[in-house]
Amino acid sequence: MSRRKIIFLVLLLIIQLCLIWPVYPLFSNVHPLILGIPFSFAWVIFVLLSAFLLVLWYYLTDPEVDSSSSSSEVE
Amino acid sequence: MEGWITILIICGIYLALTLAMGIIPGLRISESVTGFVAGDRSMNLLILYFVMGASIFSSFAFLGGPGWAYSRGAAAFYIIAYGITGMIPLYFFGPKVRRLGEKFGFVTQAEILEDRYDSRALSVILAVVSIIVFIPYLTLQMKGAGYVLTTISEGAIPGWLGAGIAYLVVLIYVFFSGVMGVGWTNTFQGIFMMVIAWFIGLYLPYELFGGVGEMFTKIAESDKSTMLTAPGLTTGGQPWDWWGFSSAVIVSAVGFSVWPHFFMRAFAANSDRTMKLTIVLYPTFQLFLVPILIIGFTAVLAYPGIEPADTILPYVLTQLDLPIVIIGLVCAGTLAASMSSGDAILHSAASIGIRDGVAKFLPDHLNTDHKQRKYIRILVIVISLIAYYFAVFSEVPIVNLLLGSYGGVAQIFPLVFCMFYWKRANRAGALSGLLAGLAVTLLFLFYPEWRPFPLHEGIYGLIANIILLITVSLATQPESEERIQRYRNA
């Protein structure tokens, strides 16, 4: 397994743990309000954005993306 | 009395546009099963993104999402949480599935699993499970559509008529265009409901409290502040425990990527790049749940005590002095949410029922592409009628059946994972794992008091599933080397 993939899987595991016990309970309070949003809610949105950035990074560094496109590419 | 006619005109325009968007792409699709079920493997990023997004955000999102936030507070964050990681496995499975589909002509999830595990029985079991899950799912979408039209017309349009009109439109474009009809309408419906959700989610707290921050501050200062502390409340209003929340998130995340109507869209992607980018961009669709939940939170202090909680969005709309056009747009948006899931489910249920179910028993009758396509279309009509019957005439509490479906669908995941990543997995292991997983999940669903720990029933199913998949596979002969290599190198 490549180092890139290992880093990805470790970060993915951390992200998953952030959404459940035991990590999410540490961030489960109402206060402080972040931009007017309860901390427990803002945390989930923050993790959502982190997951987005993680997969985006993995995609941008994906060695297969350029070579594997099929001919019928239309956008 | 004048108001609801305007609303109905807006909904009518929406339905007419949807019908047109659904029929036009059907004119360009080939007269084949691949055309009907997998859109000739020609979906680009825009369409695939909206098909995947809009299929999941159903009338549950528009009615149930605010309902959860309203009655259970932070428990509603579960709805966002499981989708964050749930989609990511498809980044890895999707391109492999797409390439194998192109090479060997697969168009459904059961077909590819049947081939890898060399088991016709597996295909039939998956077809049965899919249909058992899909019919109540479709029924709920129809009920949602009927409910919205009844509420806004102040009872002038009964539920049977509302659901009937909305789903007649769905039936026509699914029958005519197959998955490309689903694709184009979902793009239209997806954009439409995203705009509506953001608008309402920001407008309501502004109108009632002066802003989103002010609204949450008020709740935090009130005696309801505990509901904002994760993991929120149970349906009974008691604090939910972390065991329940965490296990529900895991089971739903595991099952997310293998929902049959979702998984089989990988066959419709036009390239690996399209498939991967759809997964990369998926969280942007999920952000749309944020305003949806805010709608529910807005009502916590403003309109306490509304039962059932799922009716909170239409209730709030009738209470506020909103411009009639906006109410009309929100109603059309709710119809869009219902129909964009309903169409995908209807299409998949019929395709799977014929390809993976009936065709296995009657191979002589369904031996041509033309015949299969014809029977899939007939099944589209039959399934619509069955779901319509349950939605309108039957009193069977189907919601319970749907609640159990997440645990059941999650049992498909180990088989899909091992299809590519464990070469020793074989037919006996796959069959015993899947059957045991389903049996254990159902057992604890119906007898929750037998659970050793307060975990989601799907967790016990997954444990039984994985243990049997591994031990039975190791105890029996592996699949042929040629078959395994095909999947290792996919």
More confident residue, B367 or B185: B185
Say what the pLDDT of residue B16 is: 93
Mean pLDDT of B21-48: 86
* The pLDDT of residue A69 is above 50: no
Query: With contacts defined as CB-CB under 8 Å, which chain A residues touch B97?
Result: none
* The pLDDT of residue B334 is above 50: yes
Confidence category of residue A73, pLDDT binned at 50, 70, 90: very low
Say what the pLDDT of residue A25 is: 93
Mean pLDDT of B141-167: 84
ipTM comes to: 0.89
Confidence category of residue B281, pLDDT binned at 50, 70, 90: very high
Mean pLDDT of chain B: 89
Distances B376 to B15, B140, B176, B244, B382 between C-alpha atoms, Å: 24, 22, 11, 40, 10
Q: Is B91 on the interface with A (CB under 8 A)?
A: yes
Query: With contacts defined as CB-CB under 8 Å, which chain B residues touch A24?
Result: 230-231, 242, 246
Cβ within 8 Å of A, B 247-286 = 249-250, 253, 270-274, 276-277, 279-280, 283-284, 286
Work out the minimum CA distance from A13 to partner chain B, whole angstroms: 9
Mean pLDDT of B46-62: 80
Query: With contacts defined as CB-CB under 8 Å, which chain A residues touch B293?
Result: 41
Residue from the list A15, A27, A33 with its beta carbon closest to the beta carbon of B220: A33
- Which residue in chain A has the smallest CA separation from B42? A72
Instruction: Identify the contact set of chain A against chain B, taking CB-CB distances under 8 A.
Output: 12, 15-16, 19-21, 24-25, 27-31, 33, 35-38, 40-41, 43-45, 47-49, 51-52, 55-56, 58-59, 62, 64-65, 68-70, 72-75
Among B41, B25, B45, residue whose Cα is nearest residue B33 = B41
Percent of chain B with pLDDT over 90: 50
Residue from the list A12, A25, A75 with its beta carbon closest to the beta carbon of B44: A75
Q: What are phi and psi of B269, to 5 degrees?
A: -65, 145
Query: With contacts defined as CB-CB under 8 Å, which chain A residues touch B81?
Result: 19-20, 44, 47
Residue contact A38–B277, C-beta within 8 A: no
Say what the pLDDT of residue B403 is: 67
Residue contact A65–B273, C-beta within 8 A: yes
Say what the pLDDT of residue B60 is: 67
Percent of chain B with pLDDT over 70: 97
* The pLDDT of residue B272 is above 70: yes
Mean pLDDT of chain A: 87
Say what the pLDDT of residue A71 is: 41
pLDDT tens digits, residue range B71-115?
A: 999 999 998 999 899 999 999 999 999 999 999 999 999 999 999
Query: With contacts defined as CB-CB under 8 Å, which chain A residues touch B284?
Result: 52
Confidence category of residue B59, pLDDT binned at 50, 70, 90: low
Residue contact B272–A37, C-beta within 8 A: no
Mean pLDDT of B220-225: 90
Q: Is B471 on the interface with A (CB under 8 A)?
A: no
Report for B152-161, B279-288, B362-371, B431-440: range of highest mean pLDDT: B431-440
Confidence category of residue A72, pLDDT binned at 50, 70, 90: very low
Burial of B458 (0-12, 13-18, 19+ CB in 10 A): buried
Question: In a 3-state reduction of DSSP, which class is residue A11?
Answer: helix
